[in-house]
Structure 1
Amino acid sequence: MTADDRPASPPAALPAVHESWLPREHALHRPRHAERQTVALVCAAVFFAAPALSFALGARPTEFENRSLTPFPSPGDGWSFFTDLAPWATDHLVLREQAVHAADAVSRGVFGEPAPFGNNHHEANPIESPPSRPRELHYPTVLEGKDGWLYLGEEIASHCEQDQPLAQTVAQLRRLRDGVEATGRKFVVVIAPDKATLVPEHLPERYVGKDCHRRAVDEFWRTMSAQDYVIDLRDELAAWGTQLGEPVYGPQDAHWSDEGGVLMARTVAEKLRPGISASWAVTPGEAWRVPADLPPLMGRSGETIGRHYAVAPDGVSDQTRDVGHDYRKPLKLNTASGPGTYGLGVGLLGDSFTIRALPYLSAAFGNMTVLHHDSVVGKGGATVAGDLLARSDVVVLQIAERTLARGGPAILRPDVINGVLARLSR
């Protein structure tokens, strides 16, 4: 075989180069920074640099959604550290509140409609997922009703998209009740009704989840009212609203006004000692105005108006006190005394509805400690709650209808119940 007959050697492989380094005439040439890439890079730089610069100049993230900012997750929480990191980062983004307000202003000014913020609350029918994904409903963060009334979208979604069946939630409540009573203590649950339940007449004619919400609300209260340890305040709240000539829930707020707080204090005291409030004198006091909690969720602002009350358990001396509203750590109420007050130790696990009840609880209970029931989340939380309740003769759980309807609240998680009951049994 001659040299000419030999097969040609394969060409030497060329070194790999970035496509932007190829000659412009080459078919695979791509510029490193095209015009769109440059614009995207500038936008990204502004997005990240503006909050960072604002932070350096003293701006800080604020609580504007009627809840505390999400705490930084603990590395000891396992994989949940990574899933909880995104909510923390979102909450602590500087200027987030201003961004929400700007988005709503642009949407209303340019397009003539409120910003959906990832939801569509004007469609009569729900938005559905693509066929390749399971069917999903998208509920609004805030539902705009008639006459300027606003409703928290979670009030609808929690009933229609339950995390667990209602029967399972009731079973968890009963397990907590049985465990508490097995230690010789009393157990009481106060459910704060949703505004959509108590004042449904201002809901829009059509909204996502309307039919399932009505059915679920009826089932929820039929089930809960049958539990002898549950206090149902709906009738008394409605009656007080009729007496006032207006509902005890403000048009732009998701919570009851002080009337709900007075009723909560009175009904719990009556549940523990029937007839204790016969001597009470409840007198309307000064009016108050505070920012409403629902408009900020839409990038707007609003105001809620209410009135204070003077509660004299003995019929003469007003014993209400301004005790603040920070009960993420145990808050002690121990100034009430005399006729018409309850003196045994009470441990109350509450939520945001408890805020407007605190002055009236302080007037009625001489030995009460209050803690937010979400505080049981995280390392040592169940131990703190268990120790608080272990020093009490009575355990009271105040919880919102929407929280129970959704199912799976932190206080009813099996591991939390186990931890709390373990402390009580000691």
Structure 2
Amino acid sequence: MPAPSAANAAPPIEAPRARSLAARVSGAVLLLFMAGGLASTLLAVQQEKLDLAPHPLNRTNFLDGASMRDMAAALANAPLARIAADSERQFSWIATGDLGPQVRQGCDGWLFLAEELMPQPDADRHLRERARAVAAIQEQLRARGIRLVVAVVPDKSRVESARLCTLGRSAAIDNRIRVWTAQMAAAGVPLIDTTAALQGLLTRGEDPFLRTDTHWTENGADAAAHAVADAVRGLGMELEPHQDYDIQRDAPARRPGDLVRLAGLDGLPQALQPAAEDAVSSRFTPRPAAAAAPAASAEADLFGDAALPQVALIGTSFSRTSHFAEFLAAALQTPVGNFARDGGNFWGSAGAYFASDAFKQTPPKLIVWELPERVLQLPVGQERWSLP
């Protein structure tokens, strides 16, 4: 068979050296990234900055998947994983305006928590279980001579609905507060729905919520505090000691929004972040008493309990934001002990307070339990809702 001519010869096969080199470099980079991630994770665990097993490692938690969920959640917060995730979030925002799975943007730069816009699975059952828990807690507190009132904070997306624009708020959650109110009424639990007080600010041209944050403004916190105080006075309670406050408001200053942080954009230069906002901040100064207490009363109060707050506030970051606790103390004209917790949701703050020495040794006369609307229907976990 004749050999092929030079003109008809098949082209030489290109040696795959370049592609092989690229693959090796990519593989090496991946291995280095994985090794760096493992090293940084182990270091964080060693330094107790990362807890891979926040709950006990037992057979029950392992079989129902709780241990693996804990580990997955912890690894998502490992140093290198967070850097990679934040970089991806920042690029997506700059390139497409995407805020990630937890934050949504309405009009004029208003940001909203995605959790507020959609219903939770089996939501009605979870709400009923929490209502039964509150009713049971009230009975246990009543047996100890302690009154309970529940204050509901409506969703930002409910009150600031005009700022949603193209965002949709599910009709399935429209009656969430009404159902909760009915459940509390049936159980005889005093309830304050702060929705009307917050919406009243809108009619005066004041926003009750912050634009880039999940929480209320100081005007919103003040309005809600007065609504709670009015309801408490309606119970005919006499709270001591009497304390008036002078309130001074400082000039507006830049306030970072937690929704910017939740979207993973707080590491960007300010010019590349969602538009920042300014907010006022108040200072509260106890006003000196008009006259000193009689000597007999001072002697009778051997342990100084008369000066301790008779009101305890439990709840979430709403009670720790925009001076809500201080506005409540000013409206009630008595000191308020603030035992709320950031991220407390339904039971985090309450459970910690009821187990604390503060509750056991110096129980209050009144407990104000602040609850955001959005936590009422969250999936129920393994909490034990009762007093110790």
Q: Which category of TM-score, normalised to the shorter sequence, fits these structures?
A: 0.5 to 0.7
Number of the residue aligned with 1:408? 380
1:189 maps onto 2:150 in alignment: yes
| Cα separation, 1, equivalents of 2:32 and 2:180 | 49
Q: Tell me which of 128, 131, 135 is aligned to 1:174.
A: 135
| Cα separation, 1, equivalents of 2:318 and 2:203 | 21
1:148 maps onto 2:109 in alignment: yes
Aligned residue pairs total 325
Change (3 A) 1:291 1:196: same
1:360 alignment partner, SS class: helix
1:42 maps onto 2:63 in alignment: no
Change (3 A) 1:159 1:257: farther
Q: Is the 8 A contact 1:143 1:150 kept in 2?
A: yes
| Cα separation, 2, equivalents of 1:205 and 1:289 | 28
Q: How does 1:227-266 map to 2 (within 5 A)?
A: 228-243=189-204, 245-266=205-226
Q: Tell me which of 243, 257, 260 is aligned to 1:292.
A: 257
Q: Is the 8 A contact 1:100 1:298 kept in 2?
A: no
| Cα separation, 2, equivalents of 1:253 and 1:184 | 38
1:191 alignment partner, SS class: strand
2:280 alignment partner, SS class: strand
Q: How does 1:46-65 map to 2 (within 5 A)?
A: 46-49=33-36, 52=39
Change (3 A) 1:54 1:405: closer
| Cα separation, 1, equivalents of 2:286 and 2:225 | 11
Q: How does 1:157-172 map to 2 (within 5 A)?
A: 157-158=118-119, 162=123, 164-172=125-133
| Cα separation, 2, equivalents of 1:43 and 1:37 | 10
* Alpha-carbon RMSD: 4.4
Q: How does 1:362-373 map to 2 (within 5 A)?
A: 363=330, 364-366=333-335, 368-372=337-341, 373=344
Structure 2 unaligned spans of 5+? 1-19, 266-272, 291-303
TM-score, normalised with respect to structure 2: 0.67
Number of the residue aligned with 2:56? 75
Q: Is the 8 A contact 1:160 1:213 kept in 2?
A: no
Query: Offset at 1:259?
Result: 2.3
Query: Offset at 1:162?
Result: 2.3
Number of the residue aligned with 1:201? 162
Q: Tell me which of 321, 324, 327 is aligned to 1:360.
A: 327
Query: Offset at 1:257?
Result: 1.5
Q: Is the 8 A contact 2:243 2:289 kept in 1?
A: no
Q: Tell me which of 81, 94, 100 is aligned to 2:79.
A: 94
Number of the residue aligned with 1:122? none
Letter in 2 for 1:84: D
| Cα separation, 1, equivalents of 2:57 and 2:40 | 31
Q: Is the 8 A contact 2:339 2:353 kept in 1?
A: no
Query: Offset at 1:397?
Result: 1.3
Number of the residue aligned with 2:173? 213
Query: Offset at 1:293?
Result: 0.8
| Cα separation, 2, equivalents of 1:307 and 1:86 | 39
Letter in 1 for 2:282: Y
Query: Offset at 1:219?
Result: 4.2
1:402 alignment partner, SS class: helix
Query: Offset at 1:218?
Result: 5.3
Number of the residue aligned with 2:358? 388
1:272 maps onto 2:232 in alignment: yes
Change (3 A) 1:185 1:46: same
Change (3 A) 1:278 1:384: closer
Change (3 A) 1:177 1:158: farther
Letter in 2 for 1:213: I
Change (3 A) 1:309 1:148: same
Q: Tell me which of 300, 309, 327 is aligned to 2:282.
A: 309
Letter in 1 for 2:154: P
Q: Is the 8 A contact 1:163 1:406 kept in 2?
A: no
| Cα separation, 2, equivalents of 1:237 and 1:61 | 42
| Cα separation, 1, equivalents of 2:367 and 2:246 | 26
Q: Which has the higher contact order (CA 8 A, sep 6+)?
A: 2
Query: Offset at 1:298?
Result: 2.5
Query: Offset at 1:183?
Result: 1.9
Query: Offset at 1:187?
Result: 0.5
Q: Deviations over 1:307-358 (max 9, x none)?
A: 12355787999xxxxxxxxxxxxxxxx9x98xxxxx6523322211011224
Q: Is the 8 A contact 1:346 1:395 kept in 2?
A: yes
Q: How does 1:109-128 map to 2 (within 5 A)?
A: 110=95, 112-114=96-98, 117=100
Structure 1 unaligned spans of 5+? 1-32, 63-68, 118-139, 318-333, 338-342
My pick for the range that moved more, 264-273 or 220-229, is 220-229
